[in-house]
Structure 1
Amino acid sequence: MSQRFPGRRLSLVRLTFVIGVTVALAMGGTTGFRTWQDSRQASGSEPWFSAYVDVTATPTYAFEQPSADHELNTVLSFIVAAERDTCEASWGTYYSLDEANVALDLERRIARLRQSGGNILISLGGEANSNLALACDSADSLAAQYRDIIDRYDPAALDLDIEGEALTDLESRQRRVDAIAQIQDGETDPLPIWLTLPVGPSGLTTDGVEIVREFLEAGVSIAGVNAMTMNYASQEAADDLGQVVISSLEATHRQIMAIYADHGTPLGSQTAWRRLGATPMIGQNNITAEVFSLDDARELHEFATSVGLGRMSMWSANRDRTCADAYAAINVMSDSCSSIDQGEETFAEILSGGFTGSPSESRATDDPADNVRPEDIVDDPETSPYPVWNATATYPANTRVVWRKNVYSAEWWNTAIQPDDPALNATDNPWHLIGPVLPGETPVPILTLPADYYRLWDIGTTYTRGDRVMFNDVAYEAQWWTVGDNPAAGQEDPGASPWRVITQEEIEVLLAE
């Protein structure tokens, strides 16, 4: 085998860097490391697919006539308040439940779907109109509406679509939690409840995180969180929507694990994936520059099946077709077509592959064998490639540590910040997870300079660009003129500090001289 760089030596530091980059790339592009990190079987139902159907849209979508297995599960949407301040369920404000039975033959169509072996979910909420939790003035009245819906339609699961004002209004949030708690009270096998919430590239919004917490703290059993992976309003999403969708799911997965850990019921990684769903808006999104293509769907499906995502949905079955030639506004979202050329393909066929489970079985199951106590995971320095994290140490940017069988890299200078601390916003955590410690690893030597290699930093000395000093056994170089600036104290924001830490690569060269 020929050498690309003949005569060039792969040093220990370079080898360490290559290993780190390889692990990071593997975490982003394959599933082997995820499987190795948490090989326990996920608790919960088999992954399932169910497209949303807008019940009141024109033309009417014939969900009752499934032509393929992936059409058997249907999320009927949306039940909202009849009027803003009226605690009465309606379909999109257009039909009361009784009126929908007559005008839309809704219950007969549901019965026909069930004759084919299908299931329905009922989605309550959505972006438009008033959420029932906003319109009802008490948890009791809201629970009564929920019971009427459940008794009438006997759904396989309830889908609580919480967005807009319903996402931020604290009183309605509490009513919703209390009402669902009433519904589940005394039930040994409660109806599965899914929380459908908006996400961004960093995962759930702050309100979304708090809503999940509120349900858990009230003792409500939730089947999972369904992420609305759409309408990001960012240049990144305009350039590569599929990858942004995947990034948002990875961030939401981390949040779910953190939320459950904070609640005292930590989940294994695979179980957390099983309690997560994704709902992209197929084709043209509401944001003109964002289009979820068939290739994006394939990319999402490959990722979802690799991690064991519990639920796949899409908005909507009504739209899963190429627009007619007469539809000229191809960059405007239509209720009845995708605004892209799909040829003979459908998004449902692409996204549903392998998602053969049933939503009726998606109840949360808290298997004690699946719940790992983080404090029980002990790192062995002899089998860790990097030093085990220590709460009393300081870590400059790019420092790598091992903590609870995983390798982390410091994004910026920090001390006393635990790498797996469930900081719910990625921007709050100075640590970046690279990947797990691999079988057979041993410590990688960390190179340091002797304590007297450079002069000790002095508070009264003036330093100019290029001057080097030692401080607390760490070498620093001045980036510009400075006097009185503690080299270590400024590392929480290295870009603003006049000092930078001498890198391992530079130390290797210095020691070799």
Structure 2
Amino acid sequence: MTSLPSAPTPRRTRVSLLRLGVLLLTVGLTGWFGFQAISAVALGPAKPGPSTFSGYVDVTATPSYAFETPDGPAQSDVTLAFVVSDTQDPCVPSWGAYYSLDSAAADLELDRRVRQLREVGGDVRVSFGGQANSELAVGCTDPDGLLDAYRSVVERYSLTTIDLDIEGGALDDTASIARRAVAIATLQDERLADDGLAVWLTLPVGPTGLTAAGEQVVSQMLAAGVDLAGVNGMTMNLGVPTTASQPQSDVIIDSATALHDQVSALHEQVGISLTETQAWGKVGITPMIGQNDIPNERFTLADAAIVNQFARDTGVGLVSMWSLNRDGTCTAPLPSVLTVVQTSCSGVDQGGQLFAEALAVDLPSSSAGVTSGESPAPVASPPAAPATPQVVDDPETSPYPIWDPLGTYPAGTKIVWRQQVYEAKFWTSGFAPDSAVANAADSPWSLLGPVLPGDTPAPLPTLPEGSYPQWDEEEVYTAGSRVQLGLVPYEAKWWTQGIEPGVSVEGGTPWVLVMPAR
């Protein structure tokens, strides 16, 4: 597809080169499959979970998609994409090769936003790989380093489900396929004592199902002992033009049906017999909404309704889409209908409807507690945290300046108010971030999420020396006077003399930070 505080570290199981060699040797041995058949009889096949809808979010795309404040159930379970190898150190995970996990927390507020989504009843999965860059197992050839990389992502975001999106050259990289299988099997074993770890494989499909290379990826995972939650077919760019007589949904259904048969057969090869219901529960369907990469292929809202009905009729385990970032009609200066793929709109006229809602209709969700209109307050704040004196913001631990009713805040300014972090959507002053409004879009503030344990104050804003006079304790300042203390700019809220900017005083400081425009 086109692009929390850490939990206690569990016992680390190291992957040896011997284990990797044994895997490569045993994949093709029939005696091994006989052992698997005995294991399957003893343990029984894994019971598939309920069908869910989990749309992809391109984490590094701009403009950023606010997954942390979902509109309703259809947007409340998201798959964040993509974690790949860092370009400088391939055994270090990064978001899109642009952000380390730490820089994503700082620059994208990713940890905070994940926490916020969970606070309103949603959840996140993380997808590794994708069409661009190098999936971790491709870039990292050290088995121990690879396991550490996967583990660090799972622990940082407290994940119970991950997605492995294997496409392009990664499909033919047999060494990386083996490394990945061993690492994921080990990681899944480690997580058994916690909440477990569901693993989905996302692979390209066509009307005849998986390619031979895709089948090998599934086989290798099963051979390594990975308990696959399912195989998610990328039902997009199928090479079949969309016409009135042959909509894309017809080809998608053919592809999903072929994938179902392959999933059943591949499990049978390792001695795991699946019923029809169980096999369908291990099938995922992920279309590219609207305009596909191929100019004459489009996935319409009518297609979405048909795919949704098919998923409900068969008990498909997962329905997704690429991507929630694109779920809207393109606006000026772009035309509403396009034949070139955009990252922030679908390229088709949606008439005010959403693909996510059409695809998710009546599908059981792991985030069923979120309902439309229940996302954080009218301004997308967490549900009804009462404005009580007990909610005190401490400037010593707040990651951003605390909101001041007399402050002025240009677009992009981040502040803290009642233990929540907000960002200004446009210039604002005097409007409390948690004020009720009839329409969330009317609020100048976007909620990013709660203040997290371990947060420390961000550096104060600065302006070049000489932008304003230096503060002088002998000088009298009236409301609106601006000064600098060092390079930090302040504005007087009322008459003051002798009170240093930035120092807390009884009754409230007479100074407010000047937030430079971005």
Q: State the TM-score, normalized to the length of structure 1.
A: 0.60
Where does 1:90-101 land on structure 2 (aligned, <5 Å)? 90-101=94-105
Q: 2:210 aligns with which of 197, 204, 209?
A: 204
Query: Structure 1 residues 126 and 156 mapped into 2: Cα distance closer, same or farther (>3 Å)?
Result: same
Aligned partner of 2:90 in structure 1 is: 86
Aligned partner of 2:354 in structure 1 is: 346
CA distance in 2, matches of 1:272, 1:247: 16
Letter of the 2:171 counterpart:
L
Aligned partner of 2:325 in structure 1 is: 318
Aligned partner of 1:171 in structure 2 is: 175
Within the alignment, does 1:294 sit opposite 2:301 as a pair?
yes
Where does 1:335-414 land on structure 2 (aligned, <5 Å)? 335-358=343-366
CA distance in 1, matches of 2:191, 2:111: 25
8 Å contact kept, 2:76–2:367:
no
Within the alignment, does 1:275 sit opposite 2:286 as a pair?
no
Aligned partner of 1:56 in structure 2 is: 60
Letter of the 1:97 counterpart:
L
Q: Deviations over 1:85-144 (max 9, x none)?
A: 622111111111110100000000111101001110000000011111111012211100
Letter of the 2:103 counterpart:
E
Q: Tell me by how many angstroms 1:187 deviates.
A: 4.4
Runs of 5+ unmatched residues, structure 1: 1-41, 361-513
Letter of the 2:282 counterpart:
R
Letter of the 1:356 counterpart:
P
The DSSP-based 3-state class of the residue aligned with 2:92 is: strand
Comparing 131-140 and 232-241, the one that deviates more:
232-241
Q: Tell me by how many angstroms 1:358 deviates.
A: 2.1
The DSSP-based 3-state class of the residue aligned with 2:86 is: strand
8 Å contact kept, 1:236–1:244:
no
8 Å contact kept, 1:45–1:358:
no
Where does 1:64-463 land on structure 2 (aligned, <5 Å)? 64-83=68-87, 86-188=90-192, 190-235=196-241, 239-328=246-335, 330-358=338-366
Query: Structure 1 residues 186 and 81 mapped into 2: Cα distance closer, same or farther (>3 Å)?
Result: closer
Letter of the 1:355 counterpart:
L
Q: Tell me by how many angstroms 1:60 deviates.
A: 0.6
The percent of aligned pairs where both chains have the same amino acid is 46
Q: State the TM-score, normalized to the length of structure 2.
A: 0.60
CA distance in 1, matches of 2:367, 2:215: 23
The DSSP-based 3-state class of the residue aligned with 2:273 is: coil
Where does 1:5-44 land on structure 2 (aligned, <5 Å)? 43-44=47-48
Q: Tell me by how many angstroms 1:344 deviates.
A: 1.6
Letter of the 1:213 counterpart:
S
8 Å contact kept, 2:73–2:365:
no
Query: Structure 1 residues 163 and 359 mapped into 2: Cα distance closer, same or farther (>3 Å)?
Result: farther
CA distance in 1, matches of 2:242, 2:143: 41
Letter of the 1:336 counterpart:
S
The DSSP-based 3-state class of the residue aligned with 1:324 is: coil
CA distance in 2, matches of 1:77, 1:105: 15
Letter of the 1:228 counterpart:
M
Letter of the 1:102 counterpart:
A
Q: Deviations over 1:469-503 (max 9, x none)?
A: xxxxxxxxxxxxxxxxxxxxxxxxxxxxxxxxxxx
Q: Tell me by how many angstroms 1:266 deviates.
A: 1.0
Q: Tell me by how many angstroms 1:184 deviates.
A: 2.0
The DSSP-based 3-state class of the residue aligned with 1:86 is: coil
CA distance in 2, matches of 1:99, 1:277: 32
Query: Structure 1 residues 339 and 235 mapped into 2: Cα distance closer, same or farther (>3 Å)?
Result: closer
Q: Tell me by how many angstroms 1:237 deviates.
A: 7.9
Query: Structure 1 residues 237 and 263 mapped into 2: Cα distance closer, same or farther (>3 Å)?
Result: farther
Q: Deviations over 1:371-422 (max 9, x none)?
A: xxxxxxxxxxxxxxxxxxxxxxxxxxxxxxxxxxxxxxxxxxxxxxxxxxxx
CA distance in 1, matches of 2:189, 2:117: 30
8 Å contact kept, 1:84–1:129:
no
CA distance in 2, matches of 1:115, 1:171: 40
Runs of 5+ unmatched residues, structure 2: 1-45, 369-518
Structure with the larger helix share: 1
Q: Tell me by how many angstroms 1:296 deviates.
A: 0.7
Query: Structure 1 residues 342 and 211 mapped into 2: Cα distance closer, same or farther (>3 Å)?
Result: same
Letter of the 1:111 counterpart:
R
